[in-house]
Amino acid sequence: MLKNIILMGPPGAGKGTQAKKLVSEFNLVHISTGDMFRDAIKAGTELGLMAQSYINRGDLVPDEVTIGIVKERLAMEDCASGFLLDGFPRTIPQAEALEKIGQEISRPIDVVINIDCDKNELIRRISGRRVCKNCGAPYHVDTMKPKVDGVCDICGGPLYQRKDDNKDALEVRLGHYVNQTKPLLDYYQNKGLLKTFDGSIGSDVLFDDLTKLIRGQK
Ligand code: ADP
Ligand code: ZN
């Protein structure tokens, strides 16, 4: 089984949805830098205050900060049995730092899963996205409605629209994706680690394909 996994893709490709299902299927530690920042903002910590302005604009949080929090998390004992990185790395310096960290703690990356999706679909998904304030589970106002309006199916928490899920911030985020994150696809392709999947196929079909890959059946 592949156990140290990076999940990549543009905002809205469905990373969060797949990540939640994969970590519970394979008992992996879910390391979502976006969730870590949002938790820090909610808790009003120094990290949260610092990250907030970047995130609300759609900009990336500076590399040294992001690398620091991931490094700390990856070194924790529970990551020994496998982890899923969701939203990290997003820049070449982050990928290089991750490689070094992986060597230092003997937890190298086994596979990089890239979920691809076209821009119009991304915009449609993100502009209708709602997220559980409590557990982070994603919903969509038209295509992934909760059973009860405004309430999370999984934990009963309230659903809200992320501040960076608006048209302006989204343009900024997609721009950063193209300029800073997309080059990582070549980086991991050259290392023989990249596997690309179509994010516009149904979420269950995609999950099926991903579980086969992780089990080594594909
Ligand atoms: P999405 O994939 O939907 O854009 P995330 O929840 O992964 O959202 O991230 C939200 C925001 O958190 C990003 O737009 C960015 O500001 C910040 N962030 C998350 N991960 C990173 C990272 N690896 N490097 C820099 N900033 C990050
Ligand atoms: Zn929830």
Q: Which ligand has the minimum distance to the alpha carbon of residue 122?
A: 1
pLDDT the model gives residue 97: 98
Q: Grade residue 47 by pLDDT with cuts at 50, 70 and 90.
A: very high
DSSP H helical ranges for the chain: 15-26, 33-43, 46-57, 63-74, 92-104, 119-127, 167-176, 183-190, 203-215
Catalytic residue status for 129: yes
Q: Which residue owns the Cα nearest ligand 1 atom 4?
A: 11
| pLDDT of 217 | 87
Q: Choose the residue to mutate in 38, 39, 56, 60 for probing ligand 1, maximizing ligand atoms within 8 Å of C-beta.
A: 60
Q: Where are the alpha helices (DSSP H) in 44-165?
A: 46-57, 63-74, 92-104, 119-127
Distance CA 75, CA 79 (A): 7
Pick the catalytic residue from 90, 107, 125, 130: 90
Q: Which helix (H) or strand (E) holds 133?
A: none
pLDDT 10s digits, 79-112: 999 999 999 999 999 999 999 999 999 999 999 9
The closest ligand to the CA of 169 turns out to be 1
Q: What pLDDT score was predicted for residue 202?
A: 86
Mutate-to-test residue for ligand 1 from 15, 35, 42, 55, highest number of ligand atoms within 8 A of CB:
55
C-alpha 153/C-alpha 137 separation (Å) is 9
Q: Identify the band that residue 164 occupies on the pLDDT scale cut at 50, 70 and 90.
A: very high
Average pLDDT (191-200) is: 96
Q: Look at residue 218 and tell me whether its pLDDT is greater than 80.
A: no
